[in-house]
Chains A and B, each alone.
Chain A
Amino acid sequence: MTTYLLRRLLYLIPTLWGITVLSWGLMQLAPGGPLDQMVALNVKVSPEVKVRLTRELGLDQPWYVQYGRWLKRLSRLDFGQSFKDGQPVLRKIATRLPATLLLNSLAIGVILLVAVPLGVYAAVRQGGWFDRLTTIWVFIGYSTPAFWLALLLMILLGLKLGWLPISRLTSLGFPGFPWWGKAWDLLRHLVLPVFVLAFTGLAGLSRYTRASMLEVIRQDYIRTARAKGLRESRVIIRHALRNALIPILTLLGFIVPDLIGGSVIVETIFAYPGMGRLSYEAIMTRDYFVVMGVVVISAFLTVLGNLLADLSYAYADPRIRYR
């Protein structure tokens, strides 16, 4: 396991480095570079000041010096400051990240709780009406634009029926609520965003579970388990599902970037105070360093998610480690 872990960590180095090059390259795309973007927001900057700023920020240096400096600051987790309010980018992101993590982990939880049983049942009754129904349903979920589903739910459940709040994470009087009132309020605000994220993210996992189950059910050890006279439910859950779940672990790694990406749209539409909405606001105001900070941090989170998925895969399936 240790050698596997080391090898896996070694593979991370080029990827992490690649992420920094990619992000830095993106920054160079901005017309006129970061300085023009900064100056454009402040009319008081005179040409002389601009020249001085160019020198102070090192923008007159060759690109590799600039990249080196940027990398150095990055290694200290210094992502620069927001143009809009001068706050450090890291702090801005840090205040928004918990909300996004909450949203995404709830969505992953819902996806797992729904998709795995769906996939298992569809596989056990392969070709039956339940299987066919879920297949069609999964396709629809996969093809539904998340923001449209959000709009429809807002109209129906929020405006017409008035059951659920349609924006933000808390109500106006939130600080004054007792703790159970707070929890209830949070929950009500989370229902719609979590539902939208989960509905559109569910398809892949339930189809994969079904395929994985179908594969496992054909194996000899399942026949053996049945031949021993075990109850069918025990064969399916203890013998088949446990093995079928292993490859699904890697899929979880792929779901993470999709969810983080999807939360940009969902957070924006529900005015949810997370990292996704922050990045949208930053893009609309061309708040350059914030955009780059979000790109780098979300990429690192994705790498971390993939790493955890791979490691748990290797932990669950010893064959992987010795390959």
Chain B
Amino acid sequence: MIRLYWKRLKQNRLALAGLGVIGLLALLALMAPHLVPHDPIHQDLLHRLEPPSRFHPIGTDDLGRDVLSRLVYGTRISLMVGFVAVGISVVIGTLLGLVAGYYGKWVDACLMRLVDTMLSVPTIFLILAVIAFLEPNIYNVMAVIGLTAWPGLTRLVRGECLSVRERDFVQAAKIVGLSAPRILGWHLLPNVIAPILVSATLGVGGAILTESALSFLGLGVQPPIPSWGNMLTLGRDYLHLAWWLSLFPGLAILITVLAFNLLGEGLRDVLDPRAGT
């Protein structure tokens, strides 16, 4: 089964490219200390705002820190935020979706109204409001992105669950007297895993975008920890003087998010041929 999917995925060149880029980024993140030419938070005030050169391939920032090294370290932050936030939202979204889809009736009605409510507040306002009242740091950012991203997934899982619930093997499991958690975990979950995987992959890209936007606004990862978003804040401050501070971190975000989106769409085509057009 998995081999079949892999074979199909291999034919999708864009998705494969996405997967390759993600692998490369993961490697960068893991090996960061061995790869970077300079210490990412070492300040060198004699070499402030230097344009790209042989010594600093993509220049230095306002405190003389090497932008390339900071960029590589930023990979760690972005990937971590992406994966942790999506992890949180997948757990909540899947759980609530399974419960709503399986039990139906008033449980479903209540949960779906909750989803409607969450979806009608623009997520960014929800996140900003929470961050405003808490302290902006990387842990809060991960938690808040995760805690606001689940409603879409809940709706998706519930929908899938509703149709699977009526199939014979679920009815059989009920008649045999299996407990609800067991039916949910062993019989329903494996049948809804494909759309979850797709939406999680796309979700990582979304979470990375949100984190960078928050950090850019000064409400996310705080300096001196390098994140692509807060590096771009400097780009705005030195708009006239140092274009390289704006160009490269944004390019890194674009490439990373693009990779996750391409892989996600590719997975959708592979796992769910109906949706592919």
Enumerate chain A interface residues (CB-CB to B < 8 A): 11, 14-15, 18-19, 21-23, 26, 29-31, 136, 139-140, 142-149, 151-152, 154-155, 159, 210-211, 214-215, 257-258, 260-262, 264-265, 268-269, 279-280, 282-284, 286, 291-292, 294-295, 298-299, 302-303, 306
State the CA gap A18–B110 with chains docked (Å): 11
A19 touching B132 in the complex, CB below 8 Å, given contacts A139-B262, A143-B258, A151-B239 = no
Which residues in B have their C-beta under 8 angstroms from that of A11?
A: 116
CB of A26 within 8 A of CB of B129, answer yes
CB of B113 within 8 A of CB of A19, answer no
CB of A30 within 8 A of CB of B133, answer yes
A298 touching B122 in the complex, CB below 8 Å, given contacts A15-B116, A18-B117 = yes
| Max chain B Cβ within 10 angstroms of own Cβ: one of A145, A159, A282 | A145
A145 touching B130 in the complex, CB below 8 Å, given contacts A139-B261, A260-B122 = no
Q: Does B124 contact A (CB under 8 A)?
A: yes
CB of B246 within 8 A of CB of A302, answer no
Which residues in B have their C-beta under 8 angstroms from that of A286?
A: 132-133
A159 touching B236 in the complex, CB below 8 Å, given contacts A22-B121, A26-B133 = no
| Max chain B Cβ within 10 angstroms of own Cβ: one of A210, A261, A282, A294 | A261
Q: Does B217 contact A (CB under 8 A)?
A: yes
Closest to A282 in B: B132
CB of B232 within 8 A of CB of A151, answer yes
State the CA gap A261–B209 with chains docked (Å): 13
State the CA gap A139–B15 with chains docked (Å): 12
CB of A155 within 8 A of CB of B122, answer no
Q: Does B178 contact A (CB under 8 A)?
A: no
Enumerate chain B interface residues (CB-CB to A < 8 A): 14, 113-114, 116-126, 128-134, 205, 209, 212-213, 216-219, 232, 235-236, 239-240, 243, 246-247, 249-250, 253-254, 257-258, 261-262, 265, 277
Measured CB to CB, the closest approach of chain A to B63, in angstroms, equals: 20
Closest to A146 in B: B213
Which residues in B have their C-beta under 8 angstroms from that of A260?
A: 122, 125
CB of A154 within 8 A of CB of B239, answer yes
Which residues in A have their C-beta under 8 angstroms from that of B119?
A: 257
Which residues in A have their C-beta under 8 angstroms from that of B122?
A: 257-258, 260-261, 298-299, 302
**Knowing that A21-B117, A265-B124, A286-B133 are A-B contacts, what are 17 other residue pairs whose CB atoms are under 8 Å apart, sorted by A's residue number?**
A14-B117, A22-B118, A22-B121, A143-B258, A148-B249, A151-B250, A152-B246, A257-B123, A264-B125, A265-B213, A265-B216, A269-B236, A279-B128, A282-B132, A291-B128, A291-B129, A299-B120
CB of A268 within 8 A of CB of B217, answer yes
A283 touching B239 in the complex, CB below 8 Å, given contacts A145-B209, A151-B246, A261-B122 = no
A143 touching B257 in the complex, CB below 8 Å, given contacts A31-B133, A154-B239 = yes
Which residues in A have their C-beta under 8 angstroms from that of B134?
A: 29
Measured CB to CB, the closest approach of chain B to A22, in angstroms, equals: 6
- The one of B128, B247, B258 in contact with A152, judged by C-beta atoms closer than 8 angstroms, is B247
CB of B253 within 8 A of CB of A264, answer no
Measured CB to CB, the closest approach of chain A to B8, in angstroms, equals: 18
The 9 closest A-B pairs by CB, nearest first: A148-B250, A18-B117, A261-B124, A261-B122, A143-B257, A283-B132, A143-B258, A257-B122, A14-B113
| Max chain B Cβ within 10 angstroms of own Cβ: one of A19, A155, A265 | A155
Which residues in B have their C-beta under 8 angstroms from that of A306?
A: 120
Closest to A212 in B: B277
Measured CB to CB, the closest approach of chain A to B140, in angstroms, equals: 11
CB of B120 within 8 A of CB of A261, answer no
Which residues in B have their C-beta under 8 angstroms from that of A19?
A: 117, 120-121
State the CA gap A22–B122 with chains docked (Å): 12
A15 touching B212 in the complex, CB below 8 Å, given contacts A31-B133, A159-B239, A292-B129 = no
